[in-house]
Chains A and B, each alone.
Chain A
Amino acid sequence: MNENRHEEYIDEFIDNLRNEQKPAFYRRQEQGKETEKDAELEKMFETVRAVKRIKKAWKYNTTAAFFRSRSFKGAVAAAAAILLVLGLNLFNLTGINDGNIVHAVVEAYEELHSYKGVVEIRSEREGETDFLETIEIKYQKPLQYSAFHIWNNSERHYLSDGEKLAIIGPTKITVDNLFPERELWRYHIGTAVWELEEAAEINVLGKEKIFERNTTVLEYRFPGDEDFHQMWIDESVNLPLRKVLNHPDGSSLTVEFKELEINPALEEDSFAWELPAGIEVEELNQAISLEEVKDGWPEVGQALAAAPADMELIQAGLLDEPFFDYVLRFRGESGKDFLDIYYTTTPNEPHFMAGGEQGTLDNDRVEVDEGVQNVFELYIGESNVARWIKSDAEIFIVSTRETFQLEKTLEEVAGSKINWEAVSAKTAQTEAGEYTLYYMEITDTSFRLEKEKRSFESPPEPQELVKALLQGPEKPELSRIIPEDTELLGVHVENAVAYVDFSSAIAEASYGSEAESVLVNSIVQTLTQLQEINAVQILVEGETVESLGGHISTFKPLP
């Protein structure tokens, strides 16, 4: 048997396993297209499998690595999905439908009025625990709780009567008069429930017994996010017992209830506002009347009128923190639905939020972004934000509501429409003639998008920039990402969309998701720094293609 053929077979086999596909060699064998039955070749295949099995063992050995691998999770998820199909067609399985589970969890949370338990929060990196906190909590809807936190030999008691929060330490008590939920959201059962509700994808992974309870294990993913997180749902009460949030950097955060009682009989004075005597009390923020707000925020009436009609003002406050002076807190019907409007007469720096949108409102800058993590370290998880930065004031909205509702609120406050066209944010372009080209930097563990500045004598045409990408970087530590034999067939701009046409070589290389992201972003970010270009449509031989490498859709223009 010719060695070159074997070389091809091994390469193909490795690629099949990496993609979790049935080896094409066997497929051809089954179809009678491959007659070779070679014990040596099979041993080489088995050698490849043996190497891949090490990977699996790694996953079991270190928690972080376990969750980092997508292929294994994908495999289990797919098994669960097939089980569903099989169940419906053949076995009539019931109760393992993920939609049903979310529904059951949300209903169970609605039925919940209180809980009591012991929570452990654990952060892990490379299999090592780098943070551990234990919390004994009693909670009662909507916002009363008493929690003893223990970490690193420190102890704090968090006590909320529903309106204000006391953080009681050994030598100091801090009372926050406006944000009683501070801290609670990090481990609250409701947070986990809402995460499930917001998930873009949920798969049932199987069953597991933890802390003597039978649980259904799920994985879930937030919209626009690739990483899956896991949650263990207690089958007797249909509420989350444990969740593991996985960060793209390989670390993970586990929040688990080692003990949990739902709707227990709580003592009447569980949340009584009793502060230990003899300890210094620091007051933080003040709940004030709307009249008092008016003193520093004369147009507060407009903000009140602009807030969504189905929400209720629960508190107005004067803030002690440096960035904002006042806050109006609105709540919707469900416990998680909120909209807080902040105001200051000393506007903060404009902040270009990656992935955010920018426009103008009455000629002043507007920034809108969705899915922002842990805003002010107070809104744990993801929130949507909108800012309107005027010369003498700034309004900042944080909310669970969709960004268009935040925009509408700002527009109503201003009495005019946001202009998205007049974006003043071509920030990438620093001086006349200097432009940024985006190339790839290869590190030991990843591919990254990196910048290289180039000077152009006159403003460059879009094709000049793409040609510069094709020619490759000047810095030796960077690499070109567009495959070498790719030709640029043409560029034209229409309605602020640049249509960039490449020869087929660009779609023939095989990219991992990371390399593909660098490839697409290098083209898009390089071109969108030009004033006349807001988005880029990549074409291959004059046609739109679904994707260059199978991970990122290129069917539509990319902004």
Chain B
Amino acid sequence: MKQAAASIQEELNLRAKEFWPRLYRFFYYKVQNKEEAEELTQETFHKVFRQTGNDNIEHDKIEAYLFTSARNLLTDLWRKRGRRPGSLSVEELREKGWDIPQQRQEVEERLMVQQALQELSHDYKKVLTYRIIEGWSVEEVAMKMGRKPGAVRSLQFRAVQALKTKLQEGGYFDE
């Protein structure tokens, strides 16, 4: 038993380079910031590494095991944050981990968000583009738009609200 567990850890060790970027990409897509994505990726590895000490799983299942862990971690997190967790199959997860843009669902999601953005008023579109896509600071956007920083903050809030409503109508949040 011990022998088997140790070699699973070895295998994990050998293939960490391969798994890490896939898990990281999966998490990054979900949380959209590198700090959390790193935390979650690391946590997944630690968790699986700890568990393989006791569990005796087959070598070719390591991948599934790793990705199931990742999914559970994310589901727990969403639940903690008051969000209804969607269901994600391991297969889907594996694919997502690989190549995000080619995923049909994600392309659809993106089109939907782009469409919804287009329907917003000029200023809403502008403030969201400047702040979130191009990443300018509130002060910089204030200068670009000729408004006071406080006005930009409330404009962006109303813009997010408006976009949320549009996405909701389109069923974006029904995972």
Contact = CB atoms under 8 A, between A and B. Distances in A.
Contact of B28 (A15, A75, A91): A75
B163 A37 contact: no
A5 to B, nearest CB: 11
B41 to A, nearest CB: 7
A27 to B, nearest CB: 10
A78 B34 contact: yes
B38 A79 contact: yes
B135 A82 contact: no
A22 B164 CA distance: 21
A110 B80 CA distance: 56
A10 B113 contact: no
Most chain B Cβ neighbours within 10 Å, of A6, A78, A79, A511:
A79
Given A11-B138, A206-B21, A512-B136, A49 B31 contact: yes
A96 B163 contact: no
A230 B29 CA distance: 22
A46 interface: yes
A515 B35 CA distance: 25
Interface in B117-170: 117, 128, 131-133, 135-140, 143-144, 153-154, 156-157, 160-161, 163-164, 167-168
A23 B153 CA distance: 17
Contact of B140 (A41, A47, A86, A447): A447
Contact of A22 (B17, B39, B132): B39
Interface stretch (A51-59, A193-201, A268-276, A309-317): A51-59
Nearest to A51: B132
B100 interface: yes
Given A14-B132, A18-B132, A60-B101, A42 B82 contact: yes
A292 B128 CA distance: 69
Interface in A8-48: 8, 10-11, 14-23, 26, 29, 37-39, 41-44, 46-48
Interface string B94-131: 00000011000011011001100100000000001001
Given A79-B41, A83-B17, A57 B110 contact: yes
A79 B21 contact: yes
Interface residues of B, number: 63
B139 A483 contact: yes
A7 B139 contact: no
Interface string A506-547: 000111100100000000000000000000000000000000
Contact of A48 (B13, B144, B160): B160
A345 to B, nearest CB: 52
Given A50-B109, A50-B167, A22 B36 contact: yes
A71 interface: yes
Contacts of A3: 157
Contacts of B59: none
A51 B140 contact: no
A281 B36 CA distance: 65
B12 interface: yes
A78 B13 contact: no
A482 to B, nearest CB: 12
B66 interface: no
B16 A29 contact: no
Contact of A51 (B20, B21, B117): B117
Given A44-B164, A82-B42, A206-B21, A51 B33 contact: no
B65 interface: no
B81 interface: yes
A207 B137 contact: no
Given A42-B82, A44-B164, A51-B132, A86 B42 contact: yes
Contacts of A78: 34, 38
A53 B164 contact: no
A57 B101 contact: yes
Interface residues of A, number: 66
Given A14-B156, A18-B132, A47 B144 contact: no
Nearest to B80: A29
Contacts of B46: 90
A52 B136 contact: no
A10 B32 contact: no
A38 B113 contact: no
A108 interface: no
A477 to B, nearest CB: 13
B139 A79 contact: no
Nearest to B9: A91
A360 B96 CA distance: 63
A54 B109 CA distance: 9
A92 B13 contact: yes
Contact of B32 (A17, A42, A206): A17
Most chain B Cβ neighbours within 10 Å, of A47, A55, A56, A82:
A47
Contacts of B144: 442
A6 B153 CA distance: 11
B12 to A, nearest CB: 7
A43 B164 contact: yes
B15 to A, nearest CB: 10
B49 A44 contact: no
B157 to A, nearest CB: 4
Nearest to B114: A54
A393 interface: no
Interface string A252-263: 000000000000
A74 interface: yes
Given A7-B154, A22-B35, A78-B38, A93 B140 contact: no
Interface string B7-19: 0000011001110
B16 A83 contact: yes
A512 B140 contact: yes
A44 B160 contact: yes
Contact of A53 (B82, B110, B131, B161): B110
4 shortest interchain CB distances as A-B pairs: A75-B34, A37-B82, A510-B137, A20-B34
26 contacts: A7-B157, A14-B156, A18-B131, A20-B33, A21-B35, A23-B33, A26-B81, A41-B82, A44-B164, A50-B167, A51-B133, A52-B32, A54-B110, A71-B135, A74-B34, A76-B21, A76-B24, A79-B20, A79-B34, A83-B17, A90-B46, A442-B143, A479-B143, A509-B137, A510-B138, A512-B137
Given A22-B33, A43-B168, 15 more contacts: A19-B33, A20-B35, A21-B33, A26-B81, A42-B83, A43-B83, A47-B164, A49-B30, A49-B31, A71-B34, A75-B34, A83-B20, A91-B16, A206-B21, A207-B18
